[in-house]
């Protein structure tokens, strides 16, 4: 048994590669007209460093859709600390907030100091000194973005999170699939697994350390659980038929999934420790795509028990099952917002498949995305953005839209299809 | 298990009823084309022409159905059959191909087939996994009614994950909605 797990570890390590062949880039596709004007001044002492700290912060804030950053070319003053900020100068540029900072080399890294200024209130809101390793300057910059975002919006920033996604190239029997993890801005992509058989449905454990996913590497689907940092992994299921759509419980002890071992695909809950499964749904129809509610008390799932796919909510314990969607004849793969008040799902309209949002207290369905083949919505842990898969030309790309639908951006890859994104929980 | 021709065509009709009953949409189009088979004494659909899915399949289907008992020692050549959008009904034009597999599997009880179900890319991935399985199981049920032992068959759905054709055209979609016989 121990030898077996060592072999597993060895194999898994082979899969890990820092070769960033599926690097993603960012394109802002829709800006909100209600975005807050902010200036992020280049950090003093940034010259000669491998990363432009202010640029990373500016890009983070712009991507959130809540901020409209001032162009650098419009900055005729470059203060680097709170005392040097001339409020009148920035007010005349219609800037409401200003970020200034400086970098200083230390032993094997940098000290980054920043201040966030409220221009109209003429005051310093927050400031902090951040110690950063030379090889984690991007992480330090995302941390600064998180502090600024929270100070202004009262919402926890999600810039220091990750996204997992699947890549695919080729056709039919000649395909290559990859499972990657990248920073939330698409950078630093790391290959977690590669296979000539399909990989799909990555799902983060609530502590952000593990991914459950479906792999066909044994020539049929099975669910695996892999530690992202060490690469160590185990096969969690290999039942006859479909082993699909894993979703972790908020306490990290159980995984909801779809299994067709007893006929039609049904929702089951597996206890991760002893691998026992409990059947949740009982219908002569397709039941799949479970998603756990943030409070752990209920599951969303897709079922075609009424004819076409619709979203249902199953209350654990009581077993009460309620249909949630009634708009249109195709609603599938729903996910809860982090506060549990809304769901995000794939909705088919006359124009095709789009990401939509629906309030749970009887609200109507609101379409958020504007393409024709949008799928796999995954909500940021702070609930502000939804990342999803879409099509650009003949390629699958990742895109994100703000939860209010006002702003969006795209994450195109250099080559092949990118799909099935999963936004990580908060990692710190 | 050997069925007499009449019993066999009854079995075909029965399998159609079972499959149609399990189809979520249960439309009329496929049912009508099956209906035209009822008078046929062979039930092999030898005269069926490919209805718009491309000539390459139509011609191989024709030769497969004419091969008769001598072909039972060889794996039938037509190993992919195609489906209508959102359907798991075996179209009449592929009936003879599926029957040829049934004959082969009955004649070779040690042969094993894995039925791979596929969908086009429209819709969500895991839901399509379920639809692909539904297609492969429809073929499995059909073969079982034709006397093929379930122990000779297994089903793997690939959903939309392994498309045979790329692009967002109906032509590509129709090549991707398929069940493949893998021996």
- In this predicted complex, what is the ipTM? 0.91
The predicted pLDDT at position B69 comes to 52
Q: Which residue has the higher pLDDT, A3 or B165?
A: B165
A296 and A264 together in one domain: yes
Which single residue is written with the structure tokens 């079922």?
A: A303
Residues 6+ apart with CB under 8 A from A267: A256, A257, A258, A279, A280, A281, A287, A288, A290, A299, A301, A314
Backbone dihedral angles phi then psi of residue B157, each to the nearest 5 degrees: -95, 135
A210 and A141 together in one domain: no
Q: B124 vs A375: CB contact, 8 Å cut-off?
A: yes
pLDDT per residue, tens digit, chain A (428 aa), is 444 444 444 444 334 443 445 567 767 777 777 899 999 999 999 999 999 999 999 999 999 999 999 999 999 999 999 999 999 999 999 999 999 999 999 988 999 999 999 999 999 999 999 999 999 999 999 999 999 999 999 999 999 999 999 999 999 889 999 999 999 999 999 999 999 999 999 999 999 999 999 999 999 999 999 999 999 999 999 999 999 999 999 999 999 999 999 999 999 999 999 999 999 999 999 999 999 999 999 999 999 999 999 999 999 999 999 999 999 999 999 999 999 999 999 999 999 999 999 999 877 899 999 889 999 999 999 999 999 999 988 889 999 999 888 888 888 776 779 999 999 999 97
Q: Point out the residue among B156, B162, B168 whose CB comes nearest to the CB of A220.
A: B156
Sort residue A117 into left (φ over 0), alpha (ψ -120 to 50) or beta.
Answer: beta
Residue A28 lies in a domain: no
The predicted pLDDT at position A404 comes to 87
Backbone dihedral angles phi then psi of residue A362, each to the nearest 5 degrees: 75, 15
A75 and A181 together in one domain: no
Could you tell me which chain B residue has the CA closest to the CA of A221? B156
The predicted pLDDT at position B70 comes to 55
Strands annotated E in A41-139 = 67-69, 97-105, 109-118, 123-133
Q: Is A258 on the interface with B (CB under 8 A)?
A: yes
Question: Which residues of chain B lie closer than 8 angstroms to A200, CB-CB?
Answer: 125-126, 161
Average pLDDT, chain B: 74
The range of the structural domain enclosing residue A109 comes to: 34-153
The predicted pLDDT at position A407 comes to 87
The predicted pLDDT at position B7 comes to 46
Question: Which residues of chain B lie closer than 8 angstroms to A245, CB-CB?
Answer: 126
CA distance to partner chain B, nearest, from residue A212 (Å): 15
**Which residue among A123, A153, A183 closes a domain?**
A153
Q: B130 vs A394: CB contact, 8 Å cut-off?
A: no
Question: Domain count of chain A?
Answer: 2
Residue A384 lies in a domain: yes
**Which residue among A121, A153, A185 closes a domain?**
A153
pLDDT digits (tens, 9 = 90+) for B77-112: 999 999 999 899 999 999 999 999 999 999 999 999
Residue A283 lies in a domain: yes
Residue of B124, B132, B135, B163 best to disrupt the A interface, most CBs of A under 10 A = B124
A137 and A208 together in one domain: no
Question: Which residues of chain A lie closer than 8 angstroms to B129, CB-CB?
Answer: 221, 242, 244, 258, 265, 288
Rounded-to-integer distance, Cα A51 and Cα A49, Å: 6
Structure token pair of residue A124: 């310093």
* A:B CB pairs within 8 Å: 95
The predicted pLDDT at position A406 comes to 86
Q: Point out the residue among B126, B133, B163 whose CB comes nearest to the CB of A333.
A: B126
Identify the CA nearest to A177 among candidates A13, A410, A417. Answer: A417
Q: Point out the residue among B131, B154, B161 whose CB comes nearest to the CB of A200.
A: B161
Could you tell me which chain A residue has the CA closest to the CA of B132? A242
A354 and A411 together in one domain: yes
A39 and A12 together in one domain: no
Element at A92 (helix H, strand E): none
The predicted pLDDT at position A24 comes to 75
- CB B45, CB B33: distance < 8 Å: no
Q: A332 vs B163: CB contact, 8 Å cut-off?
A: no
Q: Which residue has the higher pLDDT, B19 or A247?
A: A247
Q: A332 vs B25: CB contact, 8 Å cut-off?
A: no
A49 and A192 together in one domain: no
A312 and A349 together in one domain: yes
Q: Point out the residue among B124, B129, B166 whose CB comes nearest to the CB of A171.
A: B166
A214 and A296 together in one domain: yes
Residue A168 lies in a domain: yes
Could you tell me which chain B residue has the CA closest to the CA of A213? B126
Structure token pair of residue A365: 């369905």
Domain holding A329: CATH number? 2.120.10.30
The predicted pLDDT at position A27 comes to 77
**Which residue among A153, A173, A199 closes a domain?**
A153
CA distance to partner chain B, nearest, from residue A220 (Å): 6
Could you tell me which chain A residue has the CA closest to the CA of B163? A172
Residue A319 lies in a domain: yes
Q: Point out the residue among A198, A265, A376 whose CB comes nearest to the CB of B158.
A: A198
Q: What is the dihedral of CA A87, A90, A94, A95, to 10 degrees?
A: -90
Question: Which residues of chain B lie closer than 8 angstroms to A258, CB-CB?
Answer: 126, 129-130
Query: How many other CB atoms are found less than 10 A from the CB of residue A359?
Result: 13
What is the fold, at CATH topology level, of the domain defined by B5-182?
60s Ribosomal Protein L30; Chain: A; (3.30.1330)
| Selection from A334-348, B8-22, B31-45 with the highest mean pLDDT | A334-348
Q: A286 vs B123: CB contact, 8 Å cut-off?
A: no
Domain boundaries, chain B: 5-182
A138 and A256 together in one domain: no
Query: How many other CB atoms are found less than 10 A from the CB of residue B113?
Result: 22
């Amino acid at each position: 048994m121990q030898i077996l797990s060592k072999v597993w570890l060895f194999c898994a390590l082979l899969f890990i590669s820092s070769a960033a062949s599926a690097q993603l880039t960012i394109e802002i596709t829709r800006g909100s007209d209600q975005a807050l004007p902010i200036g992020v001044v280049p950090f003093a002492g940034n010259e000669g460093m491998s990363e432009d700290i202010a640029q990373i912060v500016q890009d983070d804030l712009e991507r959130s859709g809540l901020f409209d950053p001032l162009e650098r070319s419009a900055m005729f003053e470059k203060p680097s600390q709170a005392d040097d900020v001339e409020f009148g100068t920035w007010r005349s540029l219609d800037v409401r907030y200003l970020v200034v900072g400086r970098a200083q080399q230390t032993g094997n890294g940098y000290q980054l100091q920043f201040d966030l200024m409220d221009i109209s209130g003429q005051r310093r809101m927050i400031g902090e000194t951040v110690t950063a390793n030379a090889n984690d300057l991007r992480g330090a910059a995302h941390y600064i973005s998180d502090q600024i975002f929270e100070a202004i919006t009262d919402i926890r920033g999600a810039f220091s999170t990750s996204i997992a996604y699947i890549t695919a190239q080729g056709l039919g029997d000649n395909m290559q699939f990859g499972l990657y993890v990248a920073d939330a801005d698409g950078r630093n992509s790391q290959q977690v697994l590669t296979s000539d058989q399909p990989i799909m449905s990555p799902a983060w454990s609530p502590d952000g350390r593990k991914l459950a996913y479906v792999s066909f590497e044994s020539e049929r689907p099975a669910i695996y659980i892999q530690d992202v940092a060490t690469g160590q992994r185990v096969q969690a299921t290999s039942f006859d038929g479909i082993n699909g759509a894993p979703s972790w419980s908020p306490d990290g002890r159980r995984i909801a999934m779809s299994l067709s071992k007893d006929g039609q695909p049904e929702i089951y809950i597996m206890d991760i420790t002893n691998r026992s499964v409990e059947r949740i749904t009982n219908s002569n129809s397709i039941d799949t795509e479970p998603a756990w509610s943030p409070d752990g008390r209920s599951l969303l799932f897709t079922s075609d028990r009424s004819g076409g796919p619709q979203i249902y909510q199953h209350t654990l314990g009581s077993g009460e099952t309620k249909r949630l969607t009634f708009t249109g004849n195709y609603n599938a793969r729903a996910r809860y917002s982090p506060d549990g008040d809304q769901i995000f799902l794939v909705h088919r309209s006359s124009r095709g498949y789009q990401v939509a949002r629906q309030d749970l207290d009887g609200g109507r369905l609101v379409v958020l995305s504007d393409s024709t083949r949008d799928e796999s919505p995954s909500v940021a842990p702070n609930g502000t953005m939804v990342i999803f898969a879409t099509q650009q030309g003949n390629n699958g790309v990742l895109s994100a839209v703000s939860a209010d639908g006002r702003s969006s951006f795209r994450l195109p890859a250099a080559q092949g299809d990118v799909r099935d994104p999963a936004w990580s929980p908060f990692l710190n | 298990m050997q069925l007499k021709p009449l019993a066999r065509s009854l079995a075909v009709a029965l399998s159609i009823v079972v499959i149609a009953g399990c189809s979520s949409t249960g439309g009329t189009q496929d049912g009508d084309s099956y209906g035209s088979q009822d008078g046929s004494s062979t039930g092999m659909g030898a005269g069926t022409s490919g209805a718009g899915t491309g000539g390459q399949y139509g011609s191989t289907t024709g030769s497969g159905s004419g091969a008769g008992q001598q072909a039972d020692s060889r794996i039938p050549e037509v190993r992919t059959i195609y489906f209508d959008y959102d359907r798991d009904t075996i179209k009449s034009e592929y009936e003879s191909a599926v029957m040829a597999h049934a004959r082969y599997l009955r004649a070779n009880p040690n042969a094993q087939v894995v039925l791979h179900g596929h969908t086009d890319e429209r819709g969500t991935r895991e839901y399509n996994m379920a639809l692909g399985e539904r297609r492969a199981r429809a073929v499995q049920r059909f073969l079982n009614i034709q006397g093929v032992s379930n122990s000779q068959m297994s089903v793997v759905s690939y959903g939309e994950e392994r498309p045979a054709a790329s692009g967002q055209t109906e032509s590509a979609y129709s090549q991707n909605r398929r069940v493949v016989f893998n021996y």
